[in-house]
Amino acid sequence: MKIAVISAFLGLLLSACSPKPVYPLHVEGTALLNPQGDTVVLRGISYGWHNLWPRFYNSSSVKSLVRHTGCNLLRFSMGVDDLRGADGQPAEGYLSDPSSGWKCITECVDAAIEQGVYVIIDWHSHKIHKSEAVAFFDAVSKLYSGVPNVIYEIYNEPVNDTWHEVKLYSEAVIDAIRENDPDALVLVGSPHWDQDVDLPASDPIKNRGNIMYTLHFYAGTHGEELRAKADNALGKNLPLFISECGAMNADGQGALAWESWGEWLDWSDRKSVSMVLWSISDKTETCSMLLPSAKSGGRWDDGDFSEWGIYSRSFVEDYAKKSPLARPERGEKPVAEPGQES
């Protein structure tokens, strides 16, 4: 089975007047595949919490980021709970201000679809809010039903919940999505900040297809022990997707641990595991890719990026340039999966 890493780079030459097509993706074993049976590896960038950095949640920044890097995946992190910004002021999450959260996410998702990249809609919370999550994913999956770009991440990082609790929650949310979008890719979290992937590996969700389980790592904190846990999960046929990672410490601070980061990159390449780098934000911390001088609408130059931001931009850009195009050419109809209308 050949590996085809999806690239948006060549598509940058095409007109932006209409959405650029992408292939539907499906899971077989531990692999993410396109309809031709090629293994797909995505490399992308995550936006920070929408309620902390709403100024970046606009179509202009999305289009600028895609056009200048060629990245094939963006993740939009809808902050569910209320937070406090760096200035100490309250930052209302989706539960307190659903209209702002909905607007931020859908404007960016629409722009990403137009640019022909995959997009993760991330329920960015550390607590279970079952009824609210079911209602949100019911609504958003109705809106984007049948759109192959859209991936649903239904629980960012469980912290204190048991796997039994997360599993029951996930089944309910997946069922709501499946009512509207039977074939969409769904990402499921695991306890302890998406570290304990061994738990779902021993007790996976049954009778619900096209799901993967999220693994999060920060190279300054996590190393061989977590990779061993991930290897064990893959060995039990649990499909993994790294929906958030960085080269710094898990608290977003500290020096960039390049040696450990390189070990993670080697591992993810060997295992064909997709990964998303954290994050588009401008807080004074190592993991923020932008400086406060960065304009809200994109068109960022070198002076607007942190060290991590410069690296992240180059990382996805280099990946796109060296990767073959693995989506339909303009005018070509995407190949449907068996049983799916083309």
* Positions marked catalytic: 157, 244
From the CB of residue 340, how many other CB atoms can be counted at a distance below 10 Å?
15
CA distances from 47 to 56, 122, 252, 322 (A): 8, 10, 14, 24
Q: Which of 243, 219, 240 is nearest to 119 (CA)?
A: 243
**Cα angle at 54 between 52 and 59, to 5 degrees?**
150
3-state secondary structure of 73: strand
DSSP alpha helix (H) spans, 11-58: none
Contact present, 328 and 23 (Cβ < 8 Å)? yes
The DSSP bridge pattern shows strands 31-33 and 73-79 to be unpaired
